[in-house]
Copies of this chain bind each other. A is one copy, B any other.
Amino acid sequence: MNPFTDQREFQVGHFGERRLIQEMTKWLSDCTPPPPEGIGDDAAVLTTPSKQLAITKDALVYRKHFDEQAPAELAGAKLINRNISDLAAMGAVPSHAVIACLLPPNTSIPWLSQFYSGINQTAKSHNLSIVGGDITSTFNDLAFTLTLLGSIPVRPLTRKSAHPGDTVWVTGHLGGSILGKHLHFKPRLEEGLWLASKTEVTSAMDISDGLATDLLNLCPEDCKIEVQTETIPISEAVENYGDDRSIDHALTDGEDYELLFTLDAKTDQLAFLARWRAEFSIPISCVGAVRSRDKDDESRITYLGESTDFSPKGYEHF
């Protein structure tokens, strides 16, 4: 669906800000409380859901994260879900969100209405309140930024907190997200919470820039990670590319929105796997291990196995 229209009466520039806020508040009727808790005052008032909170912020830009091929509802859902994925990786539960809309004047009201319908449904399904936002006109780019706040019921799952000997795991399958999953993924929220409750989990993050890049983000400064390439779980979608670069895709496509985590070296891996399987249907795979790093180790990520003929380069935003 085209986010823009030439018909003046359906353009946000014709509606004006005041009416647009009224419409948006209606579109969010299932997930926004009345002011001052919701939209309509200088700021929203919220009662803190827990002593420790997690806060994250992510943007969604037209022609970067979605295009006119994407149903507007799915683009709206994606704005929420990609932020939820960040909280999931932190062991947090989403509670409140604020949205900034950066809109060219010819942005289509019907498109925006469906985009917000996707936001509304997704927020409702997570019991998440959209408590405020901001609308600003731009000259060219259509973009949204969302700030998501959540409670931390157990403990925060951090990056870079693994130790030598810890094993490295991923949920689900990687690669080929652009062929569909990037609009249809389910953030690993329950899985993240479950991992936070297990003391043997030493670190975690979500895979959004591709495993190759995100392993670098997970790896503690004084460590390296050895990856067994044949153990990387490759998405079925990757086969649709019809090339022979499966591992490349799994390592670098990005937007997987799976969890990457480490288990303490002393963990009984088979017992852990059994406990996981009793809870969840998606698989987890051990893809490598954390090692201590020598001064002369050039690379922080080492790829071992038969198929190491690839050039891992994660998604770069520029």
How far is A158 from B145 in the complex, measured between Cα atoms in Å? 25
Q: A35-B159, A55-B132, A159-B35 are in contact. Are A42 and B149 (CB under 8 A)?
A: no
How far is A142 from B49 in the complex, measured between Cα atoms in Å? 35
How far is A17 from B14 in the complex, measured between Cα atoms in Å? 37
Task: Please pick, from B54, B64, B89, the residue contacting A44 in the complex, using a CB distance under 8 A.
Answer: B54
Among A14, A18, A47, A55, residue most surrounded by chain B Cβ atoms (within 10 Å): A55
Q: A43-B92, A64-B137, A317-B135 are in contact. Are A55 and B149 (CB under 8 A)?
A: yes
Interface size class of A (residues with CB under 8 A): 35 or more
Q: Do residues B35 and A132 form an inter-chain contact, with CB atoms below 8 A?
A: no
Q: Is A86 an interface residue (CB 8 A)?
A: yes
Task: Please pick, from B41, B90, B147, the residue contacting A90 in the complex, using a CB distance under 8 A.
Answer: B41
Count of identical protomers in the assembly: 2
Residues of B within 8 A of A41 (CB): 90, 156, 158-159, 205
Residues of B within 8 A of A150 (CB): 43
Q: Do residues B317 and A61 form an inter-chain contact, with CB atoms below 8 A?
A: no
Q: A102-B102, A143-B102 are in contact. Are A54 and B47 (CB under 8 A)?
A: no
Q: Is A301 an interface residue (CB 8 A)?
A: no
- For the A-B complex with A56-B132, A139-B141 known, give 10 more contacts whose Cβ atoms are closer than 8 Å: A16-B316, A41-B90, A43-B55, A43-B86, A45-B53, A59-B100, A61-B138, A64-B137, A100-B145, A136-B317
The 3 closest A-B pairs by CB, nearest first: A140-B140, A43-B56, A147-B147
13 examples of A-B residue contacts, CB within 8 angstroms: A12-B318, A35-B158, A35-B160, A43-B87, A43-B89, A43-B90, A43-B92, A43-B148, A48-B51, A48-B52, A57-B133, A57-B134, A63-B139
